[in-house]
Structure 1
Amino acid sequence: MTQTKRHPAGFWLVSTIQMFERFSYYGMRGLLMLFLTTEALKGGLGLDKATAATIYANFTMFVYFAPLLGGYVADKFLGKRNTFFIGSIMIFLGMFGLFIANTKMMVYVALILITLGNGFWKPNITSIVGDFYDDDDPRKDGAYSIFYTFINIGAFVAPLVCGTLAEKTFAVTNGTEVISYGYKYGFLAAGIGMLIGSLIYLVSYKNLLGDVGKLGFVKTAEKEVAATNTVVEKRPLTVQEKKRVAAIFILSLFVIIFWAGFEQAGSSLTIYTNDFINRNVGGFEVPTSWFQSINPFLCIVLGPTFAWWFVQLSKRPKGDIPTPTKMGYGLIILGLGFALMVGAALQRGNSPDPSIKASIIWLIGAYVLHTVGEMFLSPVGLSMVSKLAPKQIAAIMMGAWLFATGFGNYIAGKSAAYVETWGGLQVFGFVTAVTVGAGIILCLISPWVQKLMVEE
């Protein structure tokens, strides 16, 4: 592909529809744990926290496991573009299912649809971003940073819109007491977001995407030709390609630990915030779901700054910070964020009494550090997989990367139940020790992993 300073128009289309998909997902996810645990008379499903945590954990895990299936279907049969569009329809149907659900079975069916839809969507839309650029194109890292910013625009707006509809606009109150929440309207708004993104794609894809991601591989006697007109030899992986795949899998182990901590934003941190954080600011009680907008807002602000900083570092004689080292830093900084939540638990004496509240400053500080840690790991990891993955298994490798994220999400989801049984001090202290320790280990083995990633 010809390298120009501007990003192709198709890239902006893909980033825009990704923004709407993330609005849909995070709008729903920001309400899911609250919906599951709120009693039925108040508009929830009325589950105990342990059961709700198990459902949430399995859902968020399979959301990231399903991309393995989606990557395989795209690579072998339908192509990336067709596969992710089918996924968008499934996501919309799942969101609408949550809107009309009045039984546990209907909720389960809706969550399964959303899970499969995400599996078809995630690896393919992310891989398509890389298809616009050659591996040595200097715009590629910047493109993933911009793409990540669009993701976070959707994630930032989602809890504010969907959370306000659920906890304010459609909530029925009696004075200061909430009689019923409007969670289903929050889910409806999430579904409408996905529908808008799908319509934008239908109107624009013919003019803006060209052949990118259009088909899978056209099989010939000796080669497979991708729809991007890139010739991919049908051959076994080389020794160097196998080393690169090994590097991806090694780093995936640490990614599991990172997301196991980070994704507690939707599980243990949501429960802890709802029960034990003083959310009253100037006489206004901040909806619990709103706090999940802090991270994406900071990503929008910090993303371009980190992208610029990493480019400047790459211009040094010794080059940029090695990718494994960056990811190690991300784990350590994440752990420091949980150390602040340890401070919150200590402030309230780790009491099970919900009338004893911790300062909101602890929570905000934790989200800030978590976001800084994310900047060192997530966009860097996406770009790395796009560069290192052999072309003939590109979408499958992106699915494997997301598979690791799924394990982390499962652990994060299950942790919500332990906040109630163990207490915040024990849970947050344990997460602090594990994430900081893993970060230090990754920094120590970084030179070895880096050798696997570099051409010999």
Structure 2
Amino acid sequence: MNTDTTQDGVTPEPNGSAPGTAISDAHQDRKFFGQPWGLANLFGVEMWERFSFYGMQSILAFYLYYSVTNGGLGMDQTTALSIVGAYGGFVYMTSLAASFIADRMIGSERTLFYSAIIVMLGHIALAVLPGYIGLACGLVLVGLGSGGVKTAAQVVLGQLYDRTDTRRDAGFSIFYMGVNIGGLFGPLITNAIWGWKGFHWGFGIAAVGMALGLIQYVLMRKTTIGAAGHAVPNPLPRNEYPRWIIGTLVVIVAIVALIATGVIKLAWLSNIMAAIALIAAVALLTQMYRSQETTATEKSRLLGFIPLFIGGVLFFAIFQTQFTVLAVYADQRLNRDFFGFELQPGLVNSFNPIFIIIFAGIFATMWTKLGKRQWSSAVKFGVANIIIGLSLFFFLPYAGGGANSTPMLLIIWVLLLFTLGELLLSPVGNSLATKVAPQAFQSRMFAVWLMAVSMGTSLSGTLGGYYNPEDADAERVFFIVVGVIAIIIGALIIASKNWVMKKFIDVR
């Protein structure tokens, strides 16, 4: 057995071992609610990262389109929502770079650690740098770091389990509950501080949250993570490093120049990001499918994943309108009076995490007890799309209403339905991506799943451009069309379940 330690004091994964099988007996025996103890550490660092991320995102749209006199940047609303959608998509897009770094350079665990540091620096930039400079630096850094945390944390989590371990879905659901504890308190505290001291103080508290997450992770790193995530599955030769670094810098400079010169309009960013996510997903799936390192069984699973990828895109296009369409709705139409106090509009983003905290354990227990009798992944994805499509119809009776015309109970009910769909799809999709991943491309397959989330999130900004709360007929058409499309796609995915199961072979 290889007992050498890395520079940060963590024992590396033994040579030749497969991901998910290299954890020492000591780490396997320590339990956290019946799960590996490493889940507790990943739960904590992701909770604080989500605290900072969702706290900042809950006030971002308002910061962009509020007038300068009200502390914002004074953008037009369509451009602001496009940036919000593109930024959200960019966060998931950067998982491509993170997966490359993890798979070929430093491993998933170190990628997680360094990415968390970058997230903290991004929030600091938003807090202390003024205007568009702070916006650009902050969003890019937070986007880069969050993409790394998302990819690496869940790959490391997946490697705490064997591929056939029936606790995997329950473990990912518990992890997802940690995400949403951060998602609950982030908007609550950030919006409170925004209302008290202004936008930049709100961004500052996000930086504090990420700093706390880093401290916790470092203190528990050696004793709980062990060898998970330290192997580099497909090392990049050192002599190829300069080519990749120079290529990356050229792309960054070109994009900055195109935006700065106005060749790329800010209002186009959400569409551009969605197109890039689609191209990236197709390229990654094709590369893995054609690779000689991918077995026939693994190729079959990749094909079966495609309908669920499509379902994930549509679901998240609607789900992430919480930060675009529903942000505008909460700001302009929602009655936010709470016992004589007017709540900040971004506080509505805390309802979804509240429901996740309530129901995540129920869903995790349900899937655990059902075991092999539970719905297949295809059925879960289909039902999730049907639920979120139906939820949009509840806005129809209030279409065309004036300011403060929509009761808070409506948005609470809609977000409850959003949450039920999310619990059927998102943690299951996270777990599924690790189960169907080819052995040589663990992080890369998870990046494909995140491309579905990236594309959907970007399209939420595009949908924001079509939403007009001042035109009752247009508002009705918007909710009906989007809802019907989601229901149809959901039904088609359920209809394809037998084909998907056949392609997945021994994976549900």
Which TM-score applies when normalising by structure 2? 0.80
The separation in 1 between residues aligned to 2:292 and 2:220, in whole angstroms, is: 36
2:155 corresponds, among 127, 131, 149, to 127
Other-structure match for 2:394: 340
> Which residue of structure 1 aligns with residue 324 of structure 2?
267
1:367 aligns with 415
Q: Equivalences for 1:412-427 in 2 at 5 Å? A: 412-420=460-468, 423-427=474-478
Q: Secondary structure at the match of 2:351?
A: helix
Counterparts of 1:73 and 1:247 in 2: how far apart (Å)? 27
Q: Determine the C-alpha separation between the residues in 2 that align with 1:16 and 1:290.
A: 23
Aligned to 1:7: 35
Map 1:49-448 onto structure 2 (within 5 A): 49-167=77-195, 169-170=196-197, 182-217=198-233, 236-314=293-371, 319-345=373-399, 350-351=400-401, 354-355=402-403, 357-420=405-468, 423-448=474-499
Shift of 1:22: 0.6
Q: Which moved more, 1:438-447 or 1:1-10?
A: 1-10
Q: Is the 8 A contact 1:272 1:424 kept in 2?
A: no
CA deviation profile, 1:271-322 (whole Å, cap 9, x unmatched): 011101111133222221111010011001001111222233336xxx2111
Cα pair 2:109 2:153 within 8 Å, conserved: yes
Conserved 8 A contact 1:80-1:125: yes
Structure 2 letter corresponding to 1:276: R
1:152-207 deviations in whole A, cap 9, x for unaligned? 1100111101111112x22xxxxxxxxxxx11111111111111111112222122
Unmatched 5+ stretches in structure 2 = 1-20, 237-290
Instruction: State the shift of 1:235 in Å.
Output: 5.4
Given candidates 21, 24, 27, the residue that maps to 2:49 is 21
> Secondary structure of 1:143's partner?
helix
State the SS of the aligned residue for 1:138.
coil
The AA in structure 2 aligned to 1:296 is P
Question: How many Å apart are 1:328 and its aligned residue?
Answer: 0.3
Deviations 1:407-450 (A, max 9, x none): 10111122223223764323222221111111111111111112
Amino acid at match of 1:412: S
CA offset at residue 218 of structure 1?
A: 7.5
Partners of 1:280 and 1:219 in 2: CA distance? 56
Count of aligned positions: 422
Deviation at 1:56, TM superposition (A): 1.1
Alpha-carbon offset, residue 326 of structure 1: 0.9
* Structure 2 contact 66–72 (Cα < 8 Å) conserved: yes
CA 183–117 in structure 1, closer or farther in 2 if over 3 Å, else same = same
Cα RMSD of the aligned pairs, angstroms, is 1.9
SS in 2 for 1:165: helix
State the Cα distance separating 1:214 from its structure 2 match.
2.2
SS in 2 for 1:79: helix
* Aligned counterparts of 1:372 and 1:299: Cα–Cα separation in 2: 8
How many angstroms apart in 2 are the aligned matches of 1:328 and 1:101? 44
Deviation per CA, 1:221-277, whole angstroms, max 9, x where unpaired?
Answer: xxxxxxxxxxxxx95211110111222233111100000000000110010111011
2:139 and 2:133 map into 1 onto residues whose CA distance is 10
How many Å apart are 1:355 and its aligned residue? 3.1
CA distance in 2, matches of 1:452, 1:288: 45
Structure 1 vs Structure 2: percent identity of aligned residues? 29
Q: Does the Cα contact within 8 Å between 2:382 and 2:490 map onto a contact in 1?
A: yes
| Paired residue type of 2:346 | S
Task: Tell me if structure 2 keeps the 8 A contact 1:344–1:362.
Answer: no
Distance 1:257 1:84, change over 3 A: same
Distance, in Å, in 2 between the alignment partners of 1:101 and 1:340 is 41
CA shift at 1:135, angstroms? 1.1
Q: CA deviation at 1:403?
A: 0.9
Amino acid at match of 2:355: L
Question: Would the alpha carbon gap of residues 314 and 138 (structure 1) be closer, same or farther in structure 2, given more than 3 Å must change?
Answer: closer
Aligned-residue offset at 1:140:
1.5
SS in 1 for 2:97: helix
Matches of 2:476 and 2:404 in 1, distance apart?
A: 14
Give the deviation of 1:57 after TM superposition.
Answer: 1.7
Aligned-partner residue type, residue 334 of structure 2? I
Q: Secondary structure at the match of 2:57?
A: helix
The equivalent residue for 1:227 is none
Larger deviation, residues 143-152 vs 209-218: 209-218
TM-score of the superposed pair, with normalisation by structure 1: 0.88
Q: Secondary structure at the match of 2:73?
A: coil
Q: Which residue of 2 aligns with 1:229?
A: none
Q: Aligned equivalents of 1:85 and 1:217: distance in 2?
A: 18
User: Residues 343 and 362 of structure 1 are in contact (CA less than 8 Å); yes or no, is this contact kept in structure 2?
Assistant: no
Contact 2:307–2:493 under 8 Å retained in 1:
no
Separation in 2, partners of 1:321, 1:252: 18
